[in-house]
Amino acid sequence: MDVPVLEVGGSHVTAAVVTADTWAVNVVERADLESQKAAEVVLDQLAAAARKLPLANGLAVALPGPFDFATGVAWYRGQGKFDNLYGYNVGDRLRDLLNLDQILFMNDAEAFAVGEWTAGEVRGLERCVGVTIGTGIGTAFLADGHVVREGETVPPGGELYKTSYDGRPLEDSISARAILRAYFARTGREEPEIGVKEIAERARDGAVDARDVLLESFGVLAAALTPWLERFGVTKVVLGGSISGAFDIVCEVFDFEVAATEDTEQSALIGAAAHYLRTR
């Protein structure tokens, strides 16, 4: 069976068809998304991407929180993306625009982890964790491929970003903005045109400040994850998101089994499709 999927980020929407028999992903379109425009503009752009897909079987959508994935209501505020969707029923509006009854929403970090469990670095493992690192941190704790959000063995809601480290919110230490802030503080100058990718490239070229900032930031991630891995009985962690591209530089800070994904977007598409098929 083919499953049509949208993978939604702060600046893009990817429309793809996932073939369940092989978990092959056929990307139909990857388009820019103006996430800070008015709600109707954003929804029109999402609907335009979805219309490129065969929608006879419904639609799976992976997107970031805060979002009520059961009701389809967005709760973004102060995220630098989708602010005009606050309190907006994205699900109802998409169903109207597409004349479609069946739309299933899934957290993008959870979709990534389920995709990696289905056909990636943690395939078939009994207990594993997926971590996406970009503008913030997303996590999903999986037991036999199913997301666990409650109980004493996982962070609140299964979301590590809700925890703190050394008295500060975790994302103050490990996120794109945290790494950039630490790097500019260390070098004594701000460079608006660079991002974490450029910092990683400088580290590979031998820049000590760049390497140290990345090691410190990922060291906090490793320390914050460790007690939860022990409680949950995790055997392997998989990293995704844009910042996971620095894994070759920082792998030494992890004293547990961890790997970086080959393709975060593809895994999220597969995970959303797998979740959709489970709920049919």
Cα–Cα distance for residue pair 20/275, rounded to 1 Å? 11
Token couple for 58: 């419904």
Which DSSP helix (H) or strand (E) runs through 118?
A: helix 108-119
Token couple for 104: 């299933």
**Beta strand 59-63 pairing with 24-32:** unpaired
Cα–Cα distance for residue pair 257/205, rounded to 1 Å? 27
How do residues 200-234 score in pLDDT, each as one tens digit? 999 999 999 999 999 999 999 999 999 999 999 99
pTM for the model stands at 0.94
CB 187 within 8 A of CB 181: no
How do residues 104-147 score in pLDDT, each as one tens digit? 999 999 999 999 999 999 999 999 999 999 888 999 999 999 99
CB 206 within 8 A of CB 199: no
Q: Looking at residue 192, what is its pLDDT? A: 87
Q: 139: exposed, middle or buried (C-beta count within 10 Å: 0-12, 13-18, 19+)?
A: buried
pLDDT, one tens digit for every residue, the chain (280 residues): 899 999 998 889 999 999 999 999 999 999 999 999 999 999 999 999 999 999 988 999 999 989 999 999 999 988 778 999 999 999 999 999 999 999 999 999 999 999 999 999 999 999 999 999 988 899 999 999 999 999 999 999 999 999 999 999 999 999 999 999 999 999 999 898 899 999 999 999 999 999 999 999 999 999 999 999 999 999 999 999 988 999 999 999 999 999 999 899 999 999 999 999 998 7
Count helices and strands in the chain by DSSP H and E runs? 8, 14
